[in-house]
Structure 1
Amino acid sequence: MRFVKASAALVLVTLLSACSWWGGDKLAPDVPEQQLYEEALSAMDQDNYDLAVEKLQLLEARYPFGQYSEQAQLELIYAYFRTYEPESASAAADRFIRLHPNHENIDYAYYMKGLTAFEQDRSFLTRYLPLDETQRDPGAARDSFDSFSTLVNRYPESEYAPDAQKRMQYLKNRLATHEIHVASYYMKRQAWVAAANRGRYVVENFQETPAVPDALAIMGEAYTELGMTELAENAYKVLELNFPDYQIGTFKEPRSTLLNTATFGLFGEAEAPAVPARPTSTPGARKAQEEKEQAEETERSWFDRITFGIFD
C-alpha cells in the first residue's frame, strides 16, 4: 500500500513538472525597449503587420512609461488597421486620444479613427461587385464622418485635413442617398409623416448633395398626401427655383390591378401611380381651373354628349 502511494505521488510530481521539462513555461527574454521598437518598425517595413502588432503590444506591456510608449501606441493603431482589425484600431485610437489629449500627433489619431470606420464596411464584395453601399447600414459611415469632422474643425491646419474633407464629401453624399432610400420606403408604405421628415432631414443637413432634389420632391408629395398644402407648395417652389430641370415623378408604390393581385403578379401589369400634381390652394388658381373646366364642357358637341364621349 505504501508503495502504491509513493508511485502515485511520483506520477503527480512528474505531470506537474512536465511543462518545465518541455520548455512550455519559458518566458520571453527581456528585450531592451529600443530594440523592441526597432523590430516593430522593421516588421512594418516588410509588411509583416501581425509581427509588428506582437512587438508593439509587448513593448507597451513591458515599458508602459518608456520613451517609445506614446509613439508605439500610434504605430499600433496603424498596425491594427493594416491587419484588418477595425475594432482594435478604433479602440487603440480612442485610448490614445483619452490618454494624450494634447499630444502633437493627436490629429493623426483622429484621422486613423475616421479612416478605420471609412474602410470598415468596404468588404470584398463591395469592392469588386456592383453593390449599392448607400442601401447598407450607415453606422460606420456616420462614425467616420464624425471623426473626420472633429479633425477638420479642431485641427484645420493638419496635413490630414485635406484628405479628410474629401472623404467627408463622399460620406455626405452616401448618407444623404441612404436617407432617400429610407424615405422612398416610407412613401411606398404610405407613411407620409416619416417620409416627409426624412426628406426635410436631407435638406437641412446634407445641402449641396445630389440627393436634395429628391428630398424636396418627397416632401412635396408627402405633404400633399397629408393635406398640408402650404408646406407642399413651399417644397415644390424651392425645388423649381433651385433645380429647374428636375423631372418630378412619384415615389408611391404602383397600384396592383385585381388580375395582377389574383395571379400573384403573373398577369396584369401594376398601374403606376399618377405623377403628383402641385397643389393649388389660392382662390385665383381654383377659379381659373373651374373656368377652364366650364369652357371645355361648353365646347363639347351634342353628339359627344349623347354618346358620353365614346365616339367623339
Structure 2
Amino acid sequence: MSLDFAVTARDARAAMRAVAVVAGALTLAGCDTLASLNPFDQGEKYEMKIVPDVPAEKIYDDGLGRMKSSDHEGAAKKFAQLSKNYPYSEWARRGLIMEAYANYEAQKWEDAITASRSYLSKYPNTKDAAYAQYLLAMSNYNQIPDVTRDQERSEKALAALQELVQKYPDSEYVSDARNRIQIARDQLAGKEMEVGRYYLEKRNFPAAINRFREVVSKYQTTRHVEEALERLTEAYMALGITQEAQTAAAVLGHNFPDSPWYKDAYALLQSGGLEPREESQSWISRAFRGLRTAALGQ
C-alpha cells in the first residue's frame, strides 16, 4: 500500500468519525435543533386528511335548502360543486341550471350569464335549454340602462330574446319573451331618437335623418315611429328636399291620422305651401309598404 493511499484512507475514516460525532451531538441536542434544520417545518405541522366524498344528492339538497332560506349566493356555490365533483353526470347538468338560476336570483347577472351559456353549450337539446336561454336573456334584460347611456346591453337582451323565440317556439317562456322584445326594441329606438334630436337641434340635418331613418326602417312597431316621421319632415324641409318631406308626412297621416305628430307635420308643410303627398319610390314608402305586407300575411 502506498503512502498516499494510506493517508487518504485515514483521512476518510477520520471524516466519517467526525460526522458520527456531529450526528450524535445533534441527537443529544434534542428535536428543536433538528427542526431548525428542516426548511419545510416552520412550526406548523402538516397533517394528511382524507376528505370523504359527499354524495351528489346531498350537495344538491344543500343547495335547495340555501335557496329556500334566500341564501342564493351560497346555493350557487353548492350547485357549482356538482360540476366539479361529479362531471359528466346528470347531477352536473341539474346543478348547472340551478347554478344559473341561483345567480339570477342573487342578481349576480354576469355569473348567471356565464352559467346559462355553459349549460346551452353542454346541453343544448335538453328539456331545460329553453329555461337557460330565458335566464341568459333576462340577465341581460335586467341590466338595460336608460336611453341616455350606451345600449349594448339592450342589443344583447334583444338578440337573446329573439333566439329564444326562434329556437324554442313552443316553450312557456315565448309569450313573455315577445313582450320584452318589444320593450327592448322601444329602448333602442328611443336611443336613436335622442341622438337624432341632438343633431336636429345642432342643425346637422343629414346626421339627424340617418338616426330617424333607423327608427322608421328597423323599429316601425315602437311608439317612437310617429315622432321619427315628423322629425324627418322637419329635416327634409330644412334641406329643401320637399318630396321626401311630403312623403314622410303622408305616410305619417296614412298610418297615424289622429297623431299630434301628424298635425305638426301637416302644419309645417302648409307653412311652405305644400301638402302631404306620398312618393311610392321613396325609401319611407317602401319601408312601410313592407310592414303593411307583413301585417296582411299574418
Do Structure 1 and Structure 2 share a fold, with TM-score over 0.5?
Answer: yes
Read off the aligned partner of 1:41 and give its amino acid letter: L
Is the contact between residue 20 and residue 26 of structure 1 (CA under 8 Å) also seen in structure 2?
no
Q: Which among 235, 240, 246 is matched to residue 260 of structure 2?
A: 246
CA offsets 1:54-103 (integer angstroms, 9 cap, x no match) = 21121111111122111111111111112221111111111211222222
Cα distance in 2 between the residues matched to 1:195 and 1:249? 21
Q: Could you tell me which residue of structure 2 aligns to residue 197 of structure 1?
A: 210
Cα distance in 2 between the residues matched to 1:280 and 1:229? 11
Q: Does 1:44 align with 2:67?
A: yes
CA offsets 1:139-159 (integer angstroms, 9 cap, x no match) = 212211111111112222111
The 5 A counterparts of 1:127-276 are 133-244=146-257, 245-247=259-261, 276=268
CA offsets 1:180-232 (integer angstroms, 9 cap, x no match) = 11111111222212211111111121122210111111211122223322212
Q: Could you tell me which residue of structure 2 aligns to residue 265 of structure 1?
A: none
The 5 A counterparts of 1:16-27 are 18=44, 20=46
Cα distance in 1 between the residues matched to 2:72 and 2:49? 25
CA offsets 1:96-152 (integer angstroms, 9 cap, x no match) = 112222222211111111111111247xxxxxxxxxx23232221221111111111
Q: Does 1:83 align with 2:67?
A: no
Say how many residue pairs are matched: 243
Cα distance in 2 between the residues matched to 1:221 and 1:227? 10
Cα distance in 2 between the residues matched to 1:67 and 1:240? 59
Cα distance in 2 between the residues matched to 1:188 and 1:71? 55
Q: Could you tell me which residue of structure 1 aligns to residue 36 of structure 2?
A: 9
Instruction: Identify unmatched segments of 5+ residues in structure 1.
Output: 123-132, 251-274, 283-312
How far is 1:241 from its partner? 2.2
How far is 1:276 from its partner? 4.6
Cα distance in 2 between the residues matched to 1:55 and 1:164? 29
Is the contact between residue 141 and residue 171 of structure 1 (CA under 8 Å) also seen in structure 2?
yes
Cα distance in 2 between the residues matched to 1:246 and 1:169? 23
Instruction: Identify unmatched segments of 5+ residues in structure 2.
Output: 1-21, 276-298
Cα distance in 1 between the residues matched to 2:215 and 2:116? 30
TM-score of the aligned structures, taking structure 2 as reference length: 0.72
* Percent of matched pairs sharing the same residue: 29
Pair 64,246 (structure 1): closer, same or farther in 2 beyond 3 Å: same
Is the contact between residue 33 and residue 66 of structure 1 (CA under 8 Å) also seen in structure 2?
no
TM-score of the aligned structures, taking structure 1 as reference length: 0.69
Pair 204,8 (structure 1): closer, same or farther in 2 beyond 3 Å: same
CA offsets 1:234-263 (integer angstroms, 9 cap, x no match) = 11111222223324699xxxxxxxxxxxxx
Pair 208,166 (structure 1): closer, same or farther in 2 beyond 3 Å: same
Is the contact between residue 114 and residue 147 of structure 1 (CA under 8 Å) also seen in structure 2?
yes
Pair 26,197 (structure 1): closer, same or farther in 2 beyond 3 Å: farther
How far is 1:8 from its partner? 7.8
CA offsets 1:262-298 (integer angstroms, 9 cap, x no match) = xxxxxxxxxxxxx85465579xxxxxxxxxxxxxxxx
Q: Which of these two proteins has the greater Rg computed from alpha carbons?
A: 2
